[in-house]
Structure 1
């Protein structure tokens, strides 16, 4: 391993409410491109800010042998006046301009710090990042979210930091921007830590770290190797758990047989004593000894049961909760030949002319990926299909009831619990049945009683799907807009499992090709320069 650039020694963070987020972490980060994965809420972003020096540890140390450049999940474009400011080079570029205008002020030379080619380097890096159309003076607020992230990465490249930390850099990026980001990171020559649930991006890393309540665990290789290791670990843990359960059953059988033998001996002894016509005092003494022996046996057996039960509990703790969900089909599946919805000569609002006109017929078993660059009109199309937005012209028809889930799950009331909202949507099923359905979606019995605004992203998505699919009557086709945003890997896998089981028509907008490939899609509706194009779904070859 190369020399460490960052090191944690007994690193512990205790939150203001007294909860320990992570404790006693020991790890040395080197120059290998490293992915950091883990469940939502486990502390990945906090750890990133600790490594960057933005948050203090409660106890322990974070050692840095070089400079660290950190980019958070959200780039605050409003805080920067221009592309140069967003890239962190506005001051030295202003100093360079003053010097070129004839200034001899030493402050300007100190600010520039011998970076005489900075203007050329900025333009060169912008071009390499696919942003050649931008200039140093371009207002930052005119950039898209993807462009802002890539400009910030250009600034990191120009900073020549020893270590770069990125927190969910591909969120909301379309496929071209994701590929540009990956190419940009592959050119990064120094230490790199990426927090992400984007499996394509994770696969581009040479090393994977997992943060869990038990600490930091290191895996060599990218996401595919990590996933294989996790599957093997879980299989071994499940086998160990089954072995411990078998041992407990055998032990319980042995204890029962031991107890029955003692009871038989005790009954035989009592019978023999009565037949021998022993004195009452001797019978009493014998009974006391027998009860004392039985009491000792019960205590010994209780201790042995606790030992084998503890072994089962320990084995169960090693079995990570699987992304296992069961989706109940409400009513018969829609026949493939049945029409679900149709757009006839529809002009979409708020969409560029090339993509404004669309004709679309959605059938009962059709499962469509809606793909295209940011801002092309994918979300608008889903809203028109759902009947939430009227077309400029043309007709929209729907023969079955849809469910539309936008990126922010606006249809879910953050003040009401999941159970309250599902009960309101379905008066015919009893609460016990609805609770069972929610439990089979892996929603905790206590958390379905909390206001849905307090739930995690994955929990809220499952709650919204439950309210649509288990309503009375249920939704018979789904329109999903970026459903995987902000979900951790386990929640993404659970969502994939749910949608694989869904028997109806489906249209989903997502830039995560790995996610789309697992949904059993039949078609792709692609936004192109010539308009919308429908084609058979073919998995995208990922680098």
Structure 2
């Protein structure tokens, strides 16, 4: 029996605005657990959706032998959606209920197939993943971002598909659930492709495939092996490029010296001919021979220069063209010790248990990292501080408006261009200055001129960050909910540098330990079974 396989044969994809995202890509994906990596905007999500059959290539062919289950990186439940729909099981459960009520429709039996225990399996998996308080009918709107992601992952793992294609599956997951995801995927018995920037998750893969400006390249090992290979390749490519440039400089010097020697010989010949008083016909023939030699030499030199330029160009093509990501420092004056937020006996909406109530005071120079398990109220707390949700009880004093960036990037309109939204957020800045700042974030002129919804997940996050961070007036209280999700490593490092230099009050929620440690935080706010606890960072 032939093993299920996904194959790309000379595949290309051209964006609606005419830009080529990638071209002439060929690769096979078998039963090995494979991690797909690459910079933001390289086309990883498009490639993953193409393998899942959701996007058609502009050129070439994509073939699938076996069923594929694709999990998108952004979990956005439709209005009225339930846990069952989020897990992709609503149609099966509805058909099962109709059969139990007496239906004999063939389409209902086709929808159920062999999954007669689907209700029990969903209940057991919810309980196994610490979501026993949920059931199939629970509204998806009641879930936190991490809980929603865990439900969709349960649906993927219960799908019995031949291939799972997961796009950034560890985003929004807390530490225990990230480890649980790793354990689950290591037990998965069939084909697996994971798009991710999560190094811990990628280290469990059998191989890494990278999409870059050089195309698609497979590495036979985990992320640590891939990183070592990439560094060796980068150093070798740079050394070869420098060697070709040195060879060109030396050859150019040799060509100049040849030309100068010929010019000196011509000058001596002209002087000798004039002094020797030779016949004009002889002088003319000497001049013709000299000019012919000079012409041949110029032609040879031109051909040599073209060859040298081609060798340099070929060496340069082996060096990836990824520009550094730069985040400009925010023009926020050093804040005073005045209070920017004060919560007294506040009861948070949509939160149950000990973390429902909180007392919290924030001053203008505090930098607070909020940590805790999924569903403990971290995002809800930020929404209360941003005045997006009213508290159920207690006193909430917010003298400074909080600028909030949520997990679903609600502040970025998917229908408007990034440049339009930047100009609306900062009408006092010149368009050229805003274009420069966006370019430094890795958003070039082509990407800022298309609707925000057409960008990759990492690009949308950068655009949303730009609209928040470069607003006028600048934010004095910055509220960030998992801001490093979707970002590649260079972008995360640039964001860390910017936030270290930010001088306003900062409250950030993240499950990324390394990211939080690099922000220069002053305080830790922890959601525990005993309630909210504070401590120095």
Shorter-normalised TM range = 0.7 to 0.9
Say whether 1:393 aligns with 2:391.
no
Map of 1:259 onto structure 2:
259
User: How far did 1:247 drift?
Assistant: 1.9
The CA distance in 2 between the partners of 1:82 and 1:327, in whole Å, is 39
Say whether 1:5 aligns with 2:4.
yes
The CA distance in 2 between the partners of 1:419 and 1:148, in whole Å, is 30
Map of 1:169 onto structure 2:
169
Map of 1:209 onto structure 2:
209
RMSD in angstroms over aligned alpha carbons? 4.6
Deviations 1:425-471 (A, max 9, x none): 447xxx88877666655554x45974784766655665676677778
Deviations 1:91-143 (A, max 9, x none): 574377469xxx99999888766666555444333322222233345455654
Deviations 1:393-434 (A, max 9, x none): 364566xx987655537389847458857984447xxx8887
- Alpha-carbon contact 2:8-2:27 (below 8 Å) kept: yes
Map of 2:220 onto structure 1:
220
Q: What SS class does the counterpart of residue 47 from structure 2 fall into?
A: helix
Please list, as runs of the form range in 1=range in 2, the aligned pairs for 1:366-515 lying within 5 A after superposition: 367-374=367-374, 376-379=376-379, 382=382, 393=395, 395-396=397-398, 405=405, 408=409, 410=411, 414=417, 416=419, 424-426=427-429, 444=444, 446-447=445-446, 450=449, 453=452, 478-496=478-496, 498-499=498-499, 506-515=506-515
TM-score by length of 1: 0.76
**2:88 aligned to 74, 86, 89, which one?**
86
Q: What SS class does the counterpart of residue 217 from structure 2 fall into?
A: strand
* Stretch moving more, 26-35 or 52-61: 52-61
* Stretch moving more, 373-382 or 184-193: 373-382
CA distance 1:417–1:378, change in 2 (3 Å): same
User: How far did 1:6 drift?
Assistant: 0.8
- Alpha-carbon contact 1:77-1:86 (below 8 Å) kept: no
- Alpha-carbon contact 1:368-1:508 (below 8 Å) kept: yes
Task: Count residues in correspondence.
Answer: 523
The CA distance in 1 between the partners of 2:446 and 2:314, in whole Å, is 25
Say whether 1:68 aligns with 2:60.
no
- Alpha-carbon contact 1:343-1:358 (below 8 Å) kept: no
Unaligned runs of 5+ in 2: none
CA distance 1:487–1:302, change in 2 (3 Å): same
User: How far did 1:244 drift?
Assistant: 2.0
- Alpha-carbon contact 2:35-2:194 (below 8 Å) kept: yes
Deviations 1:208-242 (A, max 9, x none): 21233544321233333323332332222222222
CA distance 1:473–1:263, change in 2 (3 Å): farther
Map of 2:306 onto structure 1:
306
The CA distance in 2 between the partners of 1:474 and 1:24, in whole Å, is 45
Unaligned runs of 5+ in 1: 538-543
TM-score by length of 2: 0.77
CA distance 1:142–1:510, change in 2 (3 Å): closer
Q: What SS class does the counterpart of residue 339 from structure 1 fall into?
A: coil
User: How far did 1:528 drift?
Assistant: 3.1
Map of 1:343 onto structure 2:
341
